[in-house]
């Protein structure tokens, strides 16, 4: 019996997302069918809508899904029917990056996440009898059901049985990216200063993680005072508005320089300022979506002289199976209170949720597709 779902179809930025009925393909051995309970909205969804990312449209987007497994293919061991799961990005499991548990740098990232189909070209979703681009991040969770894979599905540990899936859904992208950048990519050391530029989901997750790591001081920079106040609640020790020469203020506060600067803005000037504030051996992590044409300039002597490093970061170097449960653990202990970032919307309000993300009124919109029980 074919399974039908309601899915939000993205046809570009000239029209709103439209919820229509689609049909799911039969499962392959490594696939799971998940009833989606909730899905976070991430800026990458909008980047695809605007075609800054080359995913073919029309397509079903959504890559922060969480839900209940309904059926699994013969080779699946990650979860079983009835399990509560979080979905994230997919990877091949068989390249030099996947071999060392660094799947965010999977050599085959594009075909597994952004091609609109399975790697063999087959479609996971059909619309009116025709192939529809889907399998986005190996899920396409702006829908009531999704086909996910063994490698991008993480079972929610029983210790988190009381935490609603709608809250856990954003762990699969923005939250793991910010927290992972601090804890896994830059490996922030206790007692060293960090500045986080941009207080969106990724920046806020980085601030919470910097507190976990014991960084000191923890400086948040943003142009929005409300966000700065929230950053302070989540662990920042100092906040500076980017409109008032934040670089000079950071230099006054940390005359020896920063151990870590983390840019989530993708703005050239901000990154160059951040880089210029580094102490010897300081690391500047960059994760913001920048204009593809932008180039940065660095002074060669300063680059080499103090052993300073600039590090491009994807997905916080997250290894899903180990890192997502770790973040859930921090959340259970009250050290990762990311629920403060979330605003909930019903699935049919998807265009309002996207508007709220874009106008900055909600840090992390989460769509509700179905009740958990």
Chain positions contacting Zn ion, by CB under 5 A: 42, 44, 173
Closest approach, Cβ 177 to ligand CXF, in A, equals 6
Number of residues near ligand CXF (by CB under 6 A): 8
Place of tokens 């002597």: 301
Residue 45 CB, nearest approach to ligand CXF (Å): 8
Q: Which one, 193 or 315, has the nearer CB to ligand CXF?
A: 315
Q: Which H or E run contains 130?
A: strand 130-132
- Paired strand residues for 148: 32
Kindly state the smallest distance separating residue 98's Cβ from ligand CXF, in Å: 12
**Distance from the first to the final alpha carbon of the chain:** 23
Interface with ligand CXF, residue 314, by CB under 6 A? yes
Q: What is d(CA 354, CA 75) in angstroms, rounded to the nearest whole number? A: 36
Burial class (CB in 10 A: 0-12, 13-18, 19+), 86: buried
**Residue of the chain from 9, 37, 48, 89 that contacts ligand CXF (CB under 6 A):** 89
Question: What's the rounded Cα separation, in Å, for the pair 276 and 295?
Answer: 16
Please classify residue 298 by burial: count the beta carbons closer than 10 Å to its beta carbon, then call 0-12 exposed, 13-18 middle and 19+ buried. middle
Contact with ligand CXF (CB under 6 A) among 173, 183, 192, 369? 173
Minimum CB distance to ligand CXF smaller for 47 or for 117: 47
Residue among 61 and 218 whose Cβ is closer to Zn ion: 61
CB of 104 to ligand CXF, least distance (A): 4
Nearest CA to 162 out of 332, 342, 334 is that of 332
155 token code pair: 């079972």
Find the binder of ligand CXF among 90, 104, 133, 357 (CB under 6 A): 104
Choice between 133 and 152, CB closer to ligand CXF: 152
Beta bridge partners of 342: 364
Q: Which of 7, 36, 39, 42 binds ligand CXF (CB under 6 A)?
A: 42
Output the smallest distance, CB 158 to ligand CXF, in A: 26
Which residues sit at the interface with ligand CXF, rule CB under 6 A? 42, 44, 89, 104, 173, 177, 314-315
């Amino acid at each position: 019996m074919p399974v039908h779902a309601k899915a939000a179809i993205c046809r570009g930025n000239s029209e709103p997302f439209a919820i229509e009925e689609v049909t799911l393909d039969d499962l392959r051995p490594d696939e799971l069918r998940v009833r989606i309970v909730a899905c976070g909205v991430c800026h990458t969804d909008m980047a695809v809508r605007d075609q800054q990312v080359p995913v073919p449209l029309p397509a079903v987007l959504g890559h922060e899904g969480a839900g209940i497994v309904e059926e699994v293919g013969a080779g699946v061991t990650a979860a079983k029917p009835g399990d509560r799961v979080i979905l994230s990005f997919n990877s091949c499991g068989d390249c030099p990056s996947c071999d060392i548990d660094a799947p965010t740098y999977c050599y085959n990232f594009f075909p597994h996440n952004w091609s609109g189909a399975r790697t063999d070209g087959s479609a996971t979703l059909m619309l009116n009898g025709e192939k529809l681009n889907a399998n986005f991040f190996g899920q396409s969770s702006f829908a009531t059901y999704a086909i996910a894979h063994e490698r991008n599905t993480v079972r929610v540990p029983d210790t988190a049985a009381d935490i609603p899936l709608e809250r856990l859904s954003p762990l699969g992208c923005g939250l793991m990216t910010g927290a992972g950048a601090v804890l896994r990519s830059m490996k922030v050391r206790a007692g060293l200063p960090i500045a986080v530029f941009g207080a969106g989901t990724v920046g806020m997750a980085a601030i919470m993680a910097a507190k976990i790591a014991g960084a000191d001081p923890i400086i948040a920079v943003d142009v929005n005072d409300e966000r700065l106040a929230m950053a302070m609640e989540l662990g920042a020790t100092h906040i500076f508005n980017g409109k008032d020469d934040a670089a000079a203020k950071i230099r006054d506060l940390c005359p020896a320089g920063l151990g870590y600067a983390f840019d989530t803005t993708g703005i050239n000037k901000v990154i160059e300022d951040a880089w210029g504030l580094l102490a010897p051996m300081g690391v500047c992590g960059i994760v913001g979506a920048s204009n593809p044409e932008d180039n940065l300039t660095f002074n060669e002597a300063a680059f080499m002289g103090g052993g300073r490093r600039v590090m491009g970061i994807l997905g916080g170097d997250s290894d899903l199976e180990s890192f997502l449960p770790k973040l859930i653990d921090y959340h259970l202990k009250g050290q990762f209170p990311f629920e403060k970032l979330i605003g909930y919307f019903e699935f049919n309000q998807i265009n309002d949720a996207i508007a709220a993300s874009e106008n900055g009124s909600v840090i992390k919109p989460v769509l509700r597709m179905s009740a958990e029980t």
